[in-house]
Amino acid sequence: AAVERFWSLLATRYRGRNVIFAYDLLNEPEIPWDQPLMRDKWNRWLENKYHSSGQVATAWDRDPSDIELGKVQLPARDAAPGRTLHDFQLFRENLADDWTRRQVRAIKAADPEALVTVGFIQWSVPFFLAGPWQYAAFRPGRQAKYLDFLEIHFYPLANGFYEYTGAEDEERNLAYLEATVREVARPGKPVILAEFGWYGGGKLTIDQGRHPSATEEQQARWCKRAIETSKGWACGWLNWGFHDHPQARDVTELTGLLTADGRMKAWGRVFKQIAEDLRGHPTAAPRQVERPAFEWDKFVIDQKAMEHYREKYWEAFKR
């Protein structure tokens, strides 16, 4: 129902008009782990939550003499899982919420009908993280109440840089995508896969040219399967980018729907057909799937728990 209202609003408001579609507050925002300005805010947040040094010490199972509100240090990037690290992740999420809330309030004050969103990076969902420090802290379940629709960006990085090396590598990346978009969709707001795609139609020069060549057909297959896998949880898809960019310093070199000189690639033809098939049928119910419960608060502090869950999810996805 939320998706249907979303598309109805767009059809009513924007048909035949040249207007701003929506405000995307920032591309792939992340709350840093350690900045000088965060230190005072961290202590104020602790004081608001616990009210005294003793209460902090009790919650963290620390000696009261070790805790002095106003002087509590930020956790190290390699801090062990526990209540201290969990509180710090909640604090980072609180900073992200405050950042979004203030901007949305200002925009809505000037344009009450404006659509507002944020372009979440894929490690806004703690499914694949190098460590708790990589978590972006823009948590979709908390951010959703401020936003009209949600965005997520996704690239196939489950086993490093995806190189079309085999069926399992492809499937693991699709499992990663499914888990990510399902969590973004959980709050019930419409979701756009607002950056996705991969390379094809030549050999990349990035990373000292170490990645193998990929055909246009390989690119088209991956991108089509990404749409098929996310359909229902996502209701829109934006390929990155429109045409290949040979001067790019990342995978954008060869992610286009068109070549650099404007010739439509295999993926461009497939994408066009998908768009035509979806015209007039923009909503689709997500598939009914059985997956293990996503323990968000555990995964943002415990990398081993996240890795164990990933394997459980992979087994369920294969079934």
The pTM of the full predicted model, rounded to 2 decimals, is 0.93
Question: Looking at residues 291-308, what average pLDDT do you find?
Answer: 98
Q: Which of 176, 183, 181 is closest to 194 using CA atoms? A: 181
pLDDT at 217: 98
Report the amino acid identity of residue 65.
S
Cβ neighbours around 17 below 10 Å, total: 6
Question: Looking at residues 146-174, what average pLDDT do you find?
Answer: 97
Distance (Å) of CA 48 to CA 41, 44, 53: 10, 6, 11
For 37-94, give the DSSP string: HHHHHHHHHHHHHHSSHHHHHHHHT--GGG--TT-PPPPPTTPPSSHHHHHHHHHHHH
Confidence of residue 285 (pLDDT cuts 50, 70, 90): confident
- Higher pLDDT residue, 185 or 287? 185
Contact assessment for residue 251 and residue 273, using Cβ atoms and an 8 Å cutoff: no
Confidence of residue 47 (pLDDT cuts 50, 70, 90): very high
Q: Looking at the DSSP assignment, which residues form a beta bridge with residue 243?
A: 258
Phi, psi of 3 (to 5 degrees): -65, -40
pLDDT at 60: 97
pLDDT at 12: 67
- What does the block give as tokens for 13? 């408001």
Confidence of residue 80 (pLDDT cuts 50, 70, 90): very high
The pLDDT of residue 74 is above 70 = yes
